[in-house]
Amino acid sequence: MNFYLISNSYKSFYLFRREIINELSKKYNVILIANEDRYLKYFNKKYECHYLNNLFNNKNIFYNLILVFKILSIFIRKKPNVVQTYTIHPNLLCIPIAKIFFSKTSAMITGMGATSVSKNLILKRIIDIFYKFSFLFCDHIIYVNEHDKKYFYNNLKIKVKNTNIYGAGVKKVKNIVTKDILFHKYSLGSTFNIVFIGRLIQEKGILDAIKIFKLLKIANKRLIIVGDLDARGFSVSIDKKIFKYPGIIFVGEILNTDNIYKFADIFILPSITEGMPTSLMEAIMNDVVTISYKIPGVDDLIKNKINGIKLKKYSINSAVNEIHKIHKSKIYRKFLINNSEKLKSKIDRNIVVKKVLRIYEQF
């Protein structure tokens, strides 16, 4: 039985789907399709992998036609029995193609993407039309936040059988390496450390994070930025020159962020669009106080001033004030951390994986 998983990158498979892929391979012939990237090497020796030359997230109509024929040719060679898609482009394109082969189909709505915050109303309308058409052929939808579920149900009138989960979930804290190179290089044990982890694009809030950091009146402050510059798809990329400011430490992309959280005093997520923010869940799992904008995904996780701070979008000064409060009061910080304990069991990746596998058992 052929079980296809289709995403926009092998990186997403590596970071969020490895456990799912491993469990499925015990029962099915697992086949992976995604844009080629350096994470492909973790899968191509163990699974059947088809890699695309940046065809997903490409806005060019000609390349989208090539993508359609590419997916068709893959399905013709090995008929799909079950197809699970992730992210916008695979969801919209591959679900209808899979139904030509009478496959069971499942789509995960990992977020509404940059188009959801775009001022281009025509583009938004076109995306909505594509969703309404494509999901006529979808057997099951996995939602990662309540906002998207309500939007699909009330606005798009898509009432397919569905399940809610906390994204990919996050792993419980592993053993931490005490002799961390970054920690010693910047003497982070004696500084107040604010951490930003995510794609370095405007929608994910990197510019706001830097603005907030510059306004802080805290001695020995540090802003540790972890992530990769991303100029693909509909996102707006930024220039690395903005990181050249006293106290900003640009780490770049790293696979294991456990150590970063361990010397973080605050995790900041001033993103304006998310599905279910994995970095936010990781911060919670690692007992780090979080400050985020009030957006889908964050709303599902954070109760304001109970287990984290949740602010209106673009509230730069409010974020600065909250960081000052947390910096001054260890009691307040401890209060926010302790109130996250119940949430940890819900966002544990093992729990999420088991829930997803139960969905596939119904197929």
- Copy the structure tokens of residue 308: 């984290």
Query: Residue 228's pLDDT is what?
Result: 84
Distance from the Cα of residue 248 to its chain's centroid: 24
pLDDT tens digits for range 196-244? 999 888 889 999 999 999 999 999 999 999 988 765 544 556 777 889 9
- Classify domain 181-347 by CATH architecture: 3-Layer(aba) Sandwich (3.40)
- Classify domain 2-169+348-361 by CATH architecture: 3-Layer(aba) Sandwich (3.40)
For CATH 3.40.50.2000, the residue range(s) in the chain are 2-169+348-361, 181-347
pLDDT tens digits for range 77-133? 999 999 999 999 999 999 999 999 999 999 999 988 777 777 888 888 999 999 999
Work out the pLDDT band at 258, boundaries 50, 70, 90: confident
Lowest-pLDDT range of 151-155, 173-177, 262-266, 324-328: 173-177
Q: Give the percent of the chain with pLDDT over 90.
A: 78
pLDDT tens digits for range 41-60? 999 999 999 999 889 988 88
Is the dihedral angle over the CA atoms 295, 301, 305, 308 positive or is it negative?
negative
Half-sphere exposure of 189 (CA within 13 A, CB side): 7
Please state the pTM of the whole predicted model: 0.91
Q: Between vectors from CA 152 to CA 151 and to CA 158, what angle results, nearest 5°? A: 150
CA dist 28 → 22, 79, 83, 226 (Å): 10, 13, 12, 36
